[in-house]
Amino acid sequence: MIRSCVTISLVPEVRGGPFVFWDDLAASCHKAKELGFDAVEIFPPSPAGVEAGALRRLLSDTGLTVAAFGTGAGWVLQRLTLSAVEDGKRAQAREFIRGIIDLAGQFHASAIIGSMQGRHGGEVDKTTALGRLTEALNDLGEHAGKYGVPLLFEPLNRYETNLVNTIEDGVHLLGSLSTRNVKLLADLFHMNIEETDVAAALRSGGVSVGHVHFVDSNRRPAGCGHADFVPIAAALRAIGYQGYLSAEALPYPDPAEAARLTMTAYRKYFAS
């Protein structure tokens, strides 16, 4: 079964970004449950930015699960990446992600590496950057495996990174790893920019696809752009996808309505 999920950001510095709910974790979870979501995806400011006991009680009260935790605050707040020039910065990036993995593991949830992959340029050529990224993913993927969950790696569009932009790039990267505990996060917004055919790319990703960001072509909630979700739904069923569709979308026109629109699209294309 493909399950529904909605994003919650706890990082004020990215207010206005592509997260449906903001700031108030408890209120967001209760609203998500009210609308029928199965899970939440949380974007915390740091590994210490979520109190595990309070979240555990909140999940018990609402019946929700946590699908994943994002690591992007490591880039937004501290400018840390796994492919940085400085050895110390790369070590700090790895420790930040390791901390998120440890937080997520308490909830049998995955950690997501997207913006913290970094980029090449200047003092770092592409081969070196990818080598550093590969080394980190091998280490962090094995660490996530201690919790029985995969590490999620997200290809991003060309305006956000020049390392891994397509599902094909992502599959190639995973194939170069010694760990087998890293899966791809297929973000439909990034794919709309980089893929010739989104559904075909999902089919080619196959079992490598471990998480999906459910969003329309313009990064608004599903149904507010020009994405065709019929072939996308067919492709996910064809590859036997059994994970989450997580709404990492702009809170358009407001958080509650964005969540409602997402749930309407989810039920139309995936719940039947």
pLDDT digits (tens, 9 = 90+) for 92-112: 999 999 999 999 999 999 999
State which residues form the domain around 260.
3-269
Which segments within the chain are labelled E, that is strand?
Answer: 3-9, 21-22, 39-43, 65-70, 110-113, 151-153, 182-187, 209-213, 244-247
CA 164/CA 113 separation, integer angstroms: 12
In the structure encoding, which two tokens stand for residue 106, read together?
A: 């308490």
- The structure tokens listed for 18 are 């592509």
Residue 34 annotated among the catalytic residues of the structure:
no
Cα–Cα distance for residue pair 100/110, rounded to 1 Å: 9
What's the burial of 48, exposed, middle or buried (CB within 10 Å: 0-12/13-18/19+)?
exposed
Tens of pLDDT, residue by residue over 239-269, are 999 999 999 999 999 999 999 999 999 999 9
Q: What is the DSSP string of 22-65?
A: ES-HHHHHHHHHHHT-SEEEEE-SSTTSS-HHHHHHHHHHH--E
| 272 has a pLDDT exceeding 90 | no
**For the chain, how many structural domains are there in total?**
1
Evaluated on CA atoms 33, 150, 118, 226, the torsion sign reads negative
Identify the pLDDT of residue 16. 85
Tell me, yes or no, if 194 is annotated catalytic: no
Could you tell me the CATH number of the domain that includes residue 82?
3.20.20.150
Catalytic residue among 41, 194, 195, 248: 248
pLDDT digits (tens, 9 = 90+) for 133-152: 999 999 999 999 999 999 99
pLDDT at 23 over 90: no
Annotated catalytic residue, options 86, 95, 154, 195: 154
Query: Is 171 in contact with 208 (CB distance < 8 Å)?
Result: yes
Q: Find the helix or strand (DSSP H, E) in which 20 lies.
A: none
pLDDT tens digits, residue range 159-184? 999 999 999 999 999 999 999 999 99
